[in-house]
Amino acid sequence: MHSSAGSKQLETLMGIMGYSKECIDYRVVACRERDRILSNTRDSMTRITVGSKAEGVACWLESDYDVMLVSTDILCVESDIIKISNTNHKTILEVRSDACYPGYCLLDLKYRGEACLLVTENVFSTDTNGNKILGSEAFIDNAPDVSFEEDRVLYPRSGPSFPVSDGPLRYDLVYALRCLCPSILKRWAKRPRVWPPNIIVEKVVRMGGYVVPVGFKGSDNKHMEWRICFTTGETELVRNLNDILIKVYVLLKMIVRDVLKPKNKEITSYVVKNLVMWLAERSPTEMFSPDMLLYWLRVALNELKTAIKNTNLNNYMIPERNLLECCGLTDKQKITWEAIITEMIKEGPKLLIRLSKFRRAIIAYPEPLLTYCKWKILLEVLVIEDVKRRKELDPNNELPEMDILLVEERERFKKNINKLDPNNTLTEQDNVLVEVNERIEKILINIQKALKQEGWVINYEEILVKMLS
């Protein structure tokens, strides 16, 4: 598969398509700013976007938004630091993982906080030793409504997550609890490694972890168990991957989605992320150059094939946890996927034709791809700025999350601003927003004209959704 010229062309093409370091960095900063604004509006709850949106590797509407809602009133800690953790009247839960599959735990109540809305008496069970244990399933069943705004549509729960839609945006919201588990992080930090650098290792350790209400699938006690995760730390690690490995990560995610097409999450983006982080830890940084992109894609595909064959991939932060244990992979799936991956490796660069985004890009390259991609990236930046401005003006979401920004919508927005701000102190921000909206409208008009010349009749809303997906 390795071709120096082909690798450089692929690297350039992915940059044009919106996967350049600059685009990824912009999305990350915008995502963090949005979380900051929204978290300030909710008492006792911090909002943290995770997954591909937080990592900057997904466009505005390319995938769902994975969001953790973290209680600020509850703290989960290991037994040896309980005494120094009982501050600010928090509810303190002891992390007990001795009888659980690696990476999972039970939570014993040690101190009950004065103001804790998430853990009522009916979410606890008492074990044979008299300990009160916070059940994961009971916790979810009794969790408050997560839709927050009237306009949002709340769908049936999927495992620990609450799917919510807001117009074209789709969220998977998961309640999580802050977790201090230094023993796990210290073991991870001590591993011999090439990557990440020590300064990032120390930063990840300081970030600590979380527990989410989901038990190990193969456990008889799964309704009581919680999964330990280091979500913010892993986001920081992805942010510090070499640009070439970021592109390998994006390509592998596309391959899983478009080619392997798992129906029951047997292979997930999280599996792919862990595979890429293991590659980074074990490989010299100087080997990740633009002319080696196809080489590293082949290496990653071989690693994925081995993981599928053995039904084994160690979690990057907790190696004792096998991410493919009880994932539902059948022998038939394993044989089929191993054959497909082997065939893709033999195909070399031609495997890109299997990926829908690359099929469209290769057919259009270099024109009109360049024009459409410039419009696409600019639209995404402008929409992100539009949403951020709206949240700054109205953090309580009384204004729409994302409208098709035409004249009547702009006028309606001004009327709402006048109600919120009768003294007109937000005029400057409103003018900025109007300018952003006008630029969005101009791009949409240009795209619509170009599509009409190709025989397509499509409205602004459809254009916006397609360009940001």
pLDDT at 407 over 50: no
The mean predicted confidence, pLDDT, of the chain is 83
Domain boundary among 184, 217, 238: 238
Is there a single domain that holds both residue 349 and residue 453?
no
Asked if 437 and 445 count as a contact pair (C-beta separation under 8 A), the reply is: no
Q: By percentage, how much of the chain surpasses pLDDT 70?
A: 82
**Residue 28 counted as domain residue:** no
Q: Could you tell me which residue, 167 or 216, shows the higher pLDDT?
A: 216
Residue with tokens 């090439």: 194
- CA pseudo-torsion sign 432, 167, 246, 371: negative
pLDDT, mean of residues 265-280: 96
Q: Could you tell me which residue, 370 or 50, shows the higher pLDDT?
A: 50
Per-residue pLDDT at 426: 39
Return the number of other C-beta atoms located less than 10 Å from residue 347's C-beta.
Answer: 13
pLDDT band at 448 (very low <50, low <70, confident <90, very high): confident
Amino acid at 158: S
| Global pTM value | 0.84
pLDDT at 158 over 90: no
Return the number of other C-beta atoms located less than 10 Å from residue 115's C-beta.
Answer: 10
What's the pLDDT tens digit per position in 93-135?
999 998 899 999 999 998 887 766 666 777 888 887 888 899 9
Per-residue pLDDT at 410: 44
Return the number of other C-beta atoms located less than 10 Å from residue 406's C-beta.
Answer: 14
What's the pLDDT tens digit per position in 329-363?
999 999 999 999 999 999 988 898 899 888 777 66
Q: By percentage, how much of the chain surpasses pLDDT 90?
A: 44
Judged by average pLDDT, the poorest of 30-34, 273-277, 351-355 is: 30-34
pLDDT at 319 over 80: yes
pLDDT at 411 over 80: no
Question: CATH code at 282?
Answer: 1.10.1410.40
Domain boundary among 365, 395, 410: 365
pLDDT band at 402 (very low <50, low <70, confident <90, very high): very low
Q: Could you tell me which residue, 396 or 218, shows the higher pLDDT?
A: 218
Mean pLDDT is highest, among 132-136, 156-160, 167-171, for 132-136
pLDDT, mean of residues 10-28: 88
Is there a single domain that holds both residue 13 and residue 109?
no
DSSP string, 329-388: --HHHHHHHHHHHHHHHHHGGGGGGGSHHHHHHHHHTTTTHHHHHHHHHHHHHHHHHHHH
Range of the domain at 104: 62-238
pLDDT at 428 over 70: no
pLDDT at 466 over 80: no
> Which DSSP letter does residue 144 get?
P
Is there a single domain that holds both residue 89 and residue 228?
yes
**Residue 49 counted as domain residue:** no
The domain tally of the chain equals: 3
393: tokens are: 């003006």
Per-residue pLDDT at 66: 92
pLDDT at 148 over 60: no
Per-residue pLDDT at 67: 92
pLDDT, mean of residues 297-317: 97
Is there a single domain that holds both residue 266 and residue 216?
no
Is there a single domain that holds both residue 198 and residue 335?
no
Per-residue pLDDT at 321: 97
Is there a single domain that holds both residue 457 and residue 433?
yes
pLDDT band at 42 (very low <50, low <70, confident <90, very high): low
410: tokens are: 């702009």
**Which CA distances in Å does 34 have to 49, 130, 229, 385, 391?**
9, 43, 23, 10, 8
Q: Could you tell me which residue, 418 or 183, shows the higher pLDDT?
A: 183
Is there a single domain that holds both residue 181 and residue 91?
yes
Is there a single domain that holds both residue 164 and residue 68?
yes
pLDDT band at 207 (very low <50, low <70, confident <90, very high): very high
Per-residue pLDDT at 180: 92
**Residue 266 counted as domain residue:** yes
Q: Could you tell me which residue, 237 or 437, shows the higher pLDDT?
A: 237
pLDDT band at 463 (very low <50, low <70, confident <90, very high): confident
Judged by average pLDDT, the poorest of 25-29, 157-161, 323-327 is: 157-161
pLDDT at 263 over 50: yes
Is there a single domain that holds both residue 233 and residue 248?
no
Is there a single domain that holds both residue 222 and residue 262?
no
